[in-house]
Structure 1
Amino acid sequence: MDRVILRQSLENYRTPFDEEKAFAAEFIELTYDDDAFLRSREQGHFTASAWVVDKFRTHTLLTLHRKLNRWLQLGGHADGVENLLEVAMTEAREESGLTSLRFVGNGIFDIDKHIIPQRGDVPEHFHYDVRYLIEAELNEPLTLSSESIDLAWVPFDTVEDVVGYSPSILRMLEKTSRSEYVI
């Protein structure tokens, strides 16, 4: 059932960003694949992320990812779970230790298809990342997980300085400041 709800959400998802429009149909098609939520699907699989922001929309929580050595939003593999909002919330909790996490969106916040380089015996593959807007308390203590080198609340006006050129993160940042995405 979660797969059907995800498919409907993707079919109804609208974005003004051409890069998302370019691969939206691939996300919908992937929901028909029985292995789409498993990392064993070597050509690519679903992942889920939490774009965590504070209630005043001045900061976002980013992690310095241990394997990729890049600042990213929190998230991870579905590992068979078809409810990607649940995956995003679980990953955000596990990777930050935050208990104040709250889904504040109206559904899918962003989608991104990106390549993951080969690592060991895992071949290069795509992540079909479905992202959700999540709010948390800025003053709650953070707990670093084994997946991260660091965690930080990054002020919106310094995100680009921290992440460098990262079109998908900058797109989420732009969406956060647009009135249609502000809750």
Structure 2
Amino acid sequence: MTLDDTVALLRRHEARVEAGHEAAMLAEYFPFIAAHPDCLRRSCLAGHLTASAWVVDAARSRVLLTHHRKLNLWVQLGGHADGEADLLTAALREVSEESGLTRVRAVSAEIFDVDRHRIPARKTEPEHWHFDVRFLIEADASEPVVVSDESHDVAWVSLAEAVRLNPEESIARMVRKTR
């Protein structure tokens, strides 16, 4: 998969996304990618594409969240693409790294959601943007989870609890899409 394939995937999502906040953010992806051909690498200091997984159980009643150590927030699993143009592959890698789960499957190879958010400066990294591409992933909720060193905790929570733990529109939007 190439960066052009990633742009095509984003264009397909653009055709399906409803008008509003997500559509406005998505419109910013295309000029950013065109201006930054290295946007799959964290060395792109203006920002970079990231890959996330909205991990749900088979009943779609619970979601797996991580209490992110650096951000001190409950968020979906995900992280840097590390040069991987296949963002679904990167998202699945992040699920394994951040939770230890191995019995997971992509509900679809299409994008579930996108979000653009500013990351504060930290140590040697300047403030920058994450252009997050999210996929809907189903996991076996009976499989034990492991808390990685990137997190304070990893937990299955109800959809309502997810919004209580993190009331940002980004999480609320994914909860609405899950129902």
Fold similarity call, TM over 0.5: yes
Q: CA deviation at 1:41?
A: 1.0
Aligned residues: 176
For 1:22-37, list aligned pairs within 5 A.
22-32=24-34, 33-37=36-40
**Partners of 2:18 and 2:27 in 1: CA distance:** 15
Match of 1:168 among 156, 170, 176: 170
**Partners of 1:87 and 1:138 in 2: CA distance:** 21
Residue aligning to 1:103: 106
Residue aligning to 1:10: 10
For 1:153-164, list aligned pairs within 5 A.
153-163=156-166
Q: CA deviation at 1:156?
A: 1.2
Compute the RMSD of aligned alpha carbons: 1.2
1:11-41 Cα deviation digits (max 9, x unpaired): 1212125111112222223333321111111
Q: CA deviation at 1:106?
A: 4.8
- What is the one-letter code of the residue matched to 2:112? F
**Partners of 1:80 and 1:157 in 2: CA distance:** 35
Structure 1 runs not aligned, ≥5 long: 178-183
Structure 2 runs not aligned, ≥5 long: none
- What is the one-letter code of the residue matched to 2:176? E
TM norm structure 2: 0.94
Q: 2:86 matched to 1:83?
A: yes
Match of 1:130 among 133, 139, 145: 133
Residue aligning to 2:146: 143
User: Where do 4+ consecutive residues of structure 1 move more than 6 Å?
Assistant: none
- What is the one-letter code of the residue matched to 2:8? Q
Match of 2:22 among 11, 20, 23: 20
Q: 2:77 matched to 1:113?
A: no
**Partners of 1:120 and 1:106 in 2: CA distance:** 35
